[in-house]
Each structure stands twice: as structure tokens, then as C-alpha cells.
Amino acid sequence: MSKRRQLAQKVANLFIVGLGLTILISFLFQPAVAKSPQSKTQQVATSIGWQSASFPVENFQAYTSGFGYRTNATGGSGYEFHSGLDMAAPRGSYIRNWWTGVVTKVTDGGACGTQVTIQSGQWQHTYCHMEGKVEVFNSTRHMSDRAGGIQLVEGQTIPAGVRIGRVGMSGRTTGPHLHWGLKYNGNYVDPAQVLRAMFAIQPAARQSSSQIKRQQTQIKIDESKFIRDSGY
Ligand SMILES: [Zn+2]
């Protein structure tokens, strides 16, 4: 074997050993499906003007399930990604629009139940398990909750704080609660972080000061948009 050939062989062997090691290492450290999820900070969401944002539910009782990975909510084995924050409130309690925006989607029948999605700039907010159902008139989609006196239509602009529905039991749920989901630029955000940021701003904003109004709020984005909606 020529010297050159021997060297090439050595390099090739090293490459194979290296490749094997890499595979072994990635196999060893690969979490079994989503067992040890790593929070990847992809970007930082910024916002101003949350002093007029609304807490999303009336008669709030407790946060019953946080954002992120959790054991299967309905008793199955394994982990699932919970894409929002669960907020318990008595059935029939009114849900309020978090921030001024346009109704982009109303739907029903899935795990999320009767659902309203509103877009406010780069922010998308979703409300699940509501009372009411979807009705289609003249090819426009409405969310109708007649008993609650609510009717929304896709394309409608809704101011912050306006009642947009009521807490129900539609979809996959074991008790009445609002599942509140938030995305920024298509990526999930922990709604609890947003609430904390709102609470931090709002008392300060009430004491006036235009400085605070211009202050930017930064929210870390924890999860990628590529995570499928598996838990409501
Ligand atoms: Zn939920």
C-alpha cells in the first residue's frame, strides 16, 4: 500500500469511528420522545402598550395546568406538549379578549372544542373549550353562543377587554376552564410570562408616566412553531 493510500485509509477509519461515536452519543443523549425537553430560546418577543390588555377570564379561580411538557392530561402514559395555560372558572363565566385584534378563526369539534383565534399584530391568541358553536351564514363563519348573548364573525375587529364568549366544556376537557394559547410570529409563548409582564406594567402605568408607556416588554419564546398541538 502506498503511503498516500495508507493515509487515506487512516482518515477514512477515523471518519468512521467519529461517525459511530457521534451516532452513539446522540443516541445516548436523545430524550425518549419528549422526556427531557430542552427549552430553546428562538427569539424574544417584544411589545408595548399592554397596559390596556385584559385578563382573559372573569371569575378566575386557579391556574390548573401550565404551559409546556406534562404527563398526559387524560390519563394516558407518556408526555405531551401543553400549548397554553389552563385557567379554571365556573362554567358560563365570560371570556374577555386579551388584546385588540381581528378574529381570524372560529372552529369547533376538535380537542380544543369551540375555539376563537384572534390576531393582534404579531400576536395570536386562542381561546378553547368555549360554550357555543360555529354557524355558517352566507359563507361567513360565526361563533354563536346565544345563551351568553355572544356572536363573533371571522374578520371582525374586537377591542381589548370585550366579552368574546363563555367558559364551557367543549372539546377534550375534564372540567370547565379556559385554555388560553399565545403565539408570537408563529411560535408558542408561555401565557404566564405575558400575564406577569402585564401585571408588572399595569400598576405602573396607572400612576401615569409616558416613560413607562414607551417601555418595551420582553418575553422569551420557549417553543418552536414546529411542535404540534397535542394538548389542550
Ligand atoms: Zn389547556
In tens, the pLDDT along 50-80 reads 778 999 999 999 999 999 988 776 666 778 8
Nearest to 214 by CA among 9, 50, 37: 50
pLDDT above 60 (res 188): yes
122 and 58 inside one domain: yes
- Look at residue 211 in the predicted model and tell me its pLDDT: 44
62 and 168 inside one domain: yes
- Look at residue 212 in the predicted model and tell me its pLDDT: 40
Domain range holding 113?
Answer: 44-220
Q: How far is the CA of 73 from the centre of ligand 1 (A)?
A: 9
Q: How far is the CA of 67 from the centre of ligand 1 (A)?
A: 8
Q: How far is the CA of 180 from the centre of ligand 1 (A)?
A: 7
97 and 9 inside one domain: no
Count of domains observed in the chain: 2
197 and 118 inside one domain: yes
The CATH number for 113's domain is 2.70.70.10
Per-residue exposure over 134-156, b if at least 16 CB sit within 10 Å of its own CB, e if not:
beeeeeebbbbbeebebebebeb
- Look at residue 12 in the predicted model and tell me its pLDDT: 61
Q: How far is the CA of 214 from the centre of ligand 1 (A)?
A: 32
Averaged over 199-211, what is the pLDDT? 62
Q: Which residues, 6 or more positions from 19, have their beta carbon under 8 angstroms from its beta carbon?
A: none
Q: How far is the CA of 217 from the centre of ligand 1 (A)?
A: 25
pTM for the predicted model, two decimal places: 0.73
Q: How far is the CA of 231 from the centre of ligand 1 (A)?
A: 6
